[in-house]
Amino acid sequence: MLSACIFDLDGVIVDTASYHYLAWKRLAATLGFVFSEQQNERLKGVSRMESLDIFLEEGNIRITSGADKKVLAEQKNNWYMEYISQLTPAAILPGVLDFLHELKQHRLKIALGSASKNAGLIIDKLQIAGLFEVVVDGTKITKAKPDPEIFLLAAKALGVSPAACVVFEDAEAGVEAATRAAMASVGVGNPDILKKATWLIPDFKASAALDQVKKFLYE
């Protein structure tokens, strides 16, 4: 029986994914290459240092020093922090807040499963921390998506079985992680990227696709 929902953060609840891209693009400019939105898709749902490795690969830049990589990752994160420091509840994506409250009304447990190490700060800025029984972020995992660790930890912390969970994700790696965790998934966004999800919705605004998901969740 379904009893819990696990949400990714960036691109699902709030569009901080765009801030990540701006920070990566800014870092690319300092390294002498152009970083496209298409290339940025590979970074979604991936940990900070793994994202850096992919980013450097896309720019054909070889850096072997761990210390040098750490400097670049910290610079990117500092720029990202500049952008998210101005977040307010108005940044929550349309329909998300109503949907979270609706889940609560139906007595479903809610967890956050985000690779971001800044997840706690972001949900505090959005003033929605109290809606999550459990938060599993990048500070609590050792393996990045598509490894299922993050979702399995969330299920364990909620006290439910993986089969009782459904994951909401906007990244291909996140959908794969949900599948590996033996959880159903709802792909939020681009159907071409998220075609392996159990269900697909464009966003959390009213739609026939969202109605189908709700029917599954509440019945």
Q: What confidence tens digit (pLDDT) does each residue in 113-125 have?
A: 998 888 999 999 9
CATH of the domain at 198: 3.40.50.1000
Nearest CA to 77 out of 138, 159, 19 is that of 19
Centre a 10 Å sphere on the Cβ of residue 4 and count the other Cβ atoms it contains. Answer: 23
Q: Are residues 128 and 201 in the same domain?
A: yes
Catalytically active residues, by annotation: 8, 10
Q: Domain count of the chain? A: 2
Shared domain for 47 and 107, answered yes or no, is no
Q: Do 136 and 124 fall into the same domain? A: yes
Q: Which residues pair with 187 in a beta bridge?
A: 169, 200
pLDDT value, residue 103: 97
130 with 209, same domain?
Answer: yes
Residues 126 and 177 in one domain: yes
What per-residue confidence (pLDDT) applies to 25? 97
- Looking at every residue in the chain, the average pLDDT score rounds to 95
Rounded to whole angstroms, the Cα distance separating 62 from 53 reads 9
pLDDT digits (tens, 9 = 90+) for 42-54: 888 778 899 999 9
Measured CA to CA in angstroms, residue 212 lies from 123, 131, 215 at distances of 27, 23, 5
pLDDT higher than threshold 90 for residue 152: yes
Residues 154 and 52 in one domain: no
Cα 87 to Cα 89: distance, rounded to the nearest angstrom: 7
Both tokens of 118, joined, read 């800044």
Q: Looking at beta carbons, which pairs linking 80-87 to residues 24 or more positions away fall under 8 Å?
A: 80/19, 80/20, 80/22, 80/23, 80/118, 81/118, 83/16, 83/19, 83/22, 83/23, 84/16, 84/19, 84/118, 84/121, 84/122, 84/125, 87/14, 87/16, 87/122, 87/125, 87/126
Same domain? 50 vs 155:
no
Residue 36 sits in the same domain as residue 118: no
On whether both 214 and 160 belong to a single domain, the answer is: yes
- The neighbouring-strand residues paired with 204 are none
CB < 8 Å & 24+ apart, contacts of 125-129: 125/84, 125/87, 125/88, 125/91, 126/13, 126/14, 126/87, 126/88, 126/89, 126/91, 126/92, 127/89, 128/13, 128/89, 128/92, 128/97, 128/100
- At 126, the pLDDT band (50, 70, 90 cuts) reads very high
Q: Are residues 79 and 144 in the same domain?
A: no
pLDDT average, residue stretch 94-122 = 95
**What percentage of the chain reaches a pLDDT higher than 70?**
100
User: 212 and 122 in one domain?
Assistant: yes
Q: Is 100 in the same domain as 8? A: yes
Could you tell me the CATH number of the domain that includes residue 66? 1.10.150.240
| 40 CB neighbour count, 10 Å cutoff | 21
Q: What residue numbers bound the domain in which 161 lies?
A: 4-15+89-218
Among candidate residues 84, 103, 130, the one where a domain is terminated: 84
Q: Which amino acid is at 121?
A: L
Domain boundary at 26, 52, 84, which?
Answer: 84
